[in-house]
Amino acid sequence: MTFGPSPQYPAYPAPSERAQQLYDEMVAFVREEVLPAEADYERHRLAAGEGDHTVPPVIERLKASARERGLWNLFLPSESGLTQLEYAPIAELSGWSNELAPEAINCQAPDTGNMELLHLVGTEEQQRTWLTPLLAGEIRSAFAMTEPLVASSDATNIETRIVRDGDEYVIDGRKWWISGAADPRCRVLIVMGKTDPEAATHRQQSMVIVPTDTPGVHVRRSLPVFGRQDQHGHCEVELRDVRVPVTNLLGEEGGGFAAAQMRLGPGRIHHVMRALGAGERALAMMVARAKQRHAFGGPLADQGAVRERIAESRIELEQARALCHHAAFVVDSEGNKAARHLIAAAKVAVPRAVLSVIDRAIQLHGGAGVTDATMLSALYGWHRAMRIFDGPDEAHLTTLARAELGREPLFDLPETLLSQFRDLDEPTA
C-alpha cells in the first residue's frame, strides 16, 4: 500500500529486541546526560557571542558517551540494523533536545542525508574519503542546492554552473541557506548545479563533492532563523571558479535531480520524526506550566480552556505520529519511492501539528513564552522554518493532489451525486 485506502490491511511488525533495547538506552541517555547538558551548551553559546559557530565542548563529550552506549548512526539501516519504523521513536526522543541529541548520536541533518547519498551513489574512493569520517563523527558536511536569485523549491531553476574543463569541473554560483557550512568541522559540500542547461529539464543537473578548503569557496555569512543563529549556521556561500577533479562527480552527470529526490525522501521523514519529539516537549512544558501557575483562584490546569488545549495537543500529536510511522512502515516494506506521497503528507502534517502545540504552549507561558527565557520561541522558529525547508508545504500539497487525482478509486461508486439529485427531482407517486 502506498497512499490512500487500499484492500491491504496495514499491520506493523513489532520492534525487534535490539530496537527495544536501543530505545530504552536512548531514554536513559536523554534523561541522564542530554537534558542536563543543555544549560552547559547554552552557557557556552551565550559566552561565545551571537556570531560564533564554534562547537560547545559538551557536544563531543555527549558523542563519546552515546557511542559507548551503542547509540550511533541509527538512521542508516545498513549500519544500525534498524528499520525506519524502529528508528522513528528513537529519532523522536532525540527531537526532545534537537540541538544536542541528534548530533550526539550522529543522526543530525544535513549530514544524515549526505551520508545516505554517499552510501547510495558514492564511489569507493568517495566513500573512503568522506563517508567513513562522517560515519565516525569526525567531520561535518553541508548540502548546497538553494540559491538566493531563483525560486529553489523548483530545483530545475538552479543556475549554478558546473562546467567540465579537461580532468576538472569548474563551479560558479551563489548558494544560500546552506545548513552546517559555518561549523568549523564542515569539510565538504555536496553542490548541485547544471552541467548541461540544454538537456531535458530533469537531466541538466549534477552533484559534485567540493571540499570546503577548495580555493574559490567563500562562506559569506550565516542567516539567522527568526533572529537566532544556529550553532552550525545556515550560510550564504559563494563559489567562484572552484575547481575539483572530475572524480568528484557524485553519481552520474545529469543525475543530480534524481539524486536530490533520493536524498530528500529519508531526510524529510527524519526531520518529521524529530519534530514529534519537539512537540512532545512543548506539550510536557504546557502541562507543567498549567499545574504550577495559578490565576483566578487556582492552577491554570483547572481552567476548561487550558484542559481543552492540552487535550487537542495530544490528539494532534498522536495523529501526526500515526502518519509518520505509516510512512516509515511503507519505506521499510516498499521503499522510498513508494512512500514518497506518505512522506510528503507527513512533511506537511507533522510540522503543522507540532507548531500548533508549540503555539499553545507559548500562549500558556504568557510573556515568558515569547522571550528566550524558555526554548519555546526557538522551537517555534525552527518548526516554522520546517514548513519551508526540504520543500515548502505547497510543493508537497501539489504532489499529493496530483497523486490523489490520478489514483484508481477503491470502489466503483454506483451513482454520481448528479444522478441522485435527478432522482430527488422526480415526482413521487
Ligand X SMILES: Cc1cc2nc3c(=O)[nH]c(=O)nc-3n(C[C@H](O)[C@H](O)[C@H](O)COP(=O)(O)OP(=O)(O)OC[C@H]3O[C@@H](n4cnc5c(N)ncnc54)[C@H](O)[C@@H]3O)c2cc1C
User: Is the Cβ of residue 314 or residue 387 nearer to ligand X in the bound state?
Assistant: 387
User: Is the Cβ of residue 2 or residue 398 nearer to ligand X in the bound state?
Assistant: 398
Strands 161-165 and 168-179: antiparallel
Find the DSSP H helices in 81-216. 84-95, 101-104, 111-121, 124-126, 132-135
User: Is the Cβ of residue 320 or residue 400 nearer to ligand X in the bound state?
Assistant: 400
Task: Give least dist CB 395 to ligand X, A.
Answer: 5
Task: Give least dist CB 110 to ligand X, A.
Answer: 5
User: Is the Cβ of residue 297 or residue 406 nearer to ligand X in the bound state?
Assistant: 406
Task: Give least dist CB 180 to ligand X, A.
Answer: 7
Task: Give least dist CB 163 to ligand X, A.
Answer: 20
**Where do contacts with ligand X occur on this chain (CB under 6 A)?**
110, 143-146, 151-153, 177-179, 225, 234, 385, 388-392, 394-395, 398
User: Is the Cβ of residue 179 or residue 248 nearer to ligand X in the bound state?
Assistant: 179
> Which residues, at least 6 apart from 114, have a Cβ–Cβ distance to it below 8 Å?
134, 141, 142, 143, 188, 190, 263
Per the structure block, which three cell numbers stand in for 8? 491491504
Is residue 169 within 8 A of residue 208, CB to CB? The reply is yes
Task: Give least dist CB 404 to ligand X, A.
Answer: 15
User: Is the Cβ of residue 135 or residue 264 nearer to ligand X in the bound state?
Assistant: 264
Query: From CA 215, how far away is CA 366, in angstroms rounded?
Result: 50
Query: From CA 300, how far away is CA 297, in angstroms rounded?
Result: 9
Task: Give least dist CB 413 to ligand X, A.
Answer: 30
Task: Give least dist CB 271 to ligand X, A.
Answer: 10
User: Is the Cβ of residue 83 or residue 204 nearer to ligand X in the bound state?
Assistant: 204
Per the structure block, which three cell numbers stand in for 140? 561535518
- Please give the helix or strand (H or E) that residue 294 lies within, else none: strand 294-295
Residue 162: φ, ψ to 5°? -125, 105
Query: From CA 136, how far away is CA 351, in angstroms rounded?
Result: 30
Query: From CA 376, how far away is CA 397, in angstroms rounded?
Result: 27
